[in-house]
Structure 1
């Protein structure tokens, strides 16, 4: 079996995917909060 060295794997693709996921979740939460506030203001 090949010897594995801790921290030697290239993880740039995983980091980009994770950053995109966190960005999408953050934007989604902001949109949902805005909708909740608007619903509270206009009593929908």
Structure 2
């Protein structure tokens, strides 16, 4: 029972890290896209 709970916690942590990385890369992509749009205007 304790072992199963431990595995569930590990999976939850991995999911959290994955979501954090996903949102980080999405924000980075949005910033770089906006940056290139600004550069092209000049």
Q: TM-score scaled to structure 2, two decimals? A: 0.75
User: Which structure would you say has the larger Rg?
Assistant: 1
Which residue does 2:19 correspond to in 1?
A: 21
**Number of residue pairs matched by the alignment:** 35
| CA–CA separation in structure 1 for the residues paired with 2:25 and 2:33 | 12
Higher helix share: 2
| CA–CA separation in structure 2 for the residues paired with 1:16 and 1:34 | 27
SS of structure 2 residue aligned to 1:42: helix
Q: TM-score scaled to structure 1, two decimals? A: 0.72
**Structure 1: segments with no counterpart, 5+ residues:** 1-8
**Structure 2: segments with no counterpart, 5+ residues:** none
